[in-house]
Amino acid sequence: MQYTIQHFSSLPETKIKGKNYYSDDYVFVPKKPSTPVITAIANVLTSSATTGNQWYLNGTLIAGATGQQFAAITSGSYTVVTSVNGCTSSPSAAINLTVTAVPTISTWNNEVTIFPNPVLTDEVTIKIISSRRLILQISDIRGSLTKTLSLINGVNTLSLSKLPPGVYLFLIRDTKTFEAVQRKLLKF
């Protein structure tokens, strides 16, 4: 825990062998981390704190949601609390978010292929047949954003070696039109 020290000299003096001695009190007061601030871009929430975050939905802790960013998949009131050295901040101001369904854009839905699915190795291939500028956001099933990267036209190879086995949501978004395609991927 971080502490601030408050100094007091309120105790009476003590006399020992004719000399005056004063006893000082030191009070250690835990120093709370600054209250984080949430910014939202579409359904991705970002905490102003780079580490120590814990996200909440409608006042209930979201298990495993401890990153600086959180990709919301459920509508509701989101807050975040930051912990530093065992001291916890006050909750952030709530962000009320309405998550709309991610549209599947029929005009380019077939231009995105992700394979293999399920993933048995640590690599996945994303094939793009489009001249669009695309961003990939990978979230775990709880909505915690695990990775964001740009995609190029053609073949993109992505390592998933740092991700534990589980179900992941791949959201591929056009940076100009914000149209999106979403895929679920299972990693063993």
Q: Does 95 share its domain with 24?
A: yes
Q: Does 115 share its domain with 95?
A: no
Q: Does 4 share its domain with 94?
A: yes
CATH for 176: 2.60.40.3080
Q: Does 54 share its domain with 89?
A: yes
Domain boundary among 70, 100, 130: 100
**Residue whose tokens read 């020992």:** 16
Q: Does 116 share its domain with 83?
A: no
State pTM to two decimals.
0.52
Q: Does 133 share its domain with 43?
A: no
Domain boundary among 66, 100, 134: 100
User: Which residue range(s) make up the domain with 166?
Assistant: 109-187
Give me the tens of pLDDT residue by residue for the chain, a chain 188 residues long: 554 444 444 445 556 677 766 656 666 666 788 999 998 877 788 899 999 999 999 999 988 888 888 888 788 999 999 998 888 999 999 999 987 654 444 456 778 889 998 998 899 999 988 888 888 989 887 778 888 899 988 999 999 999 999 888 888 888 777 777 888 888 98
Split into its structural domains, the chain has a count of 2
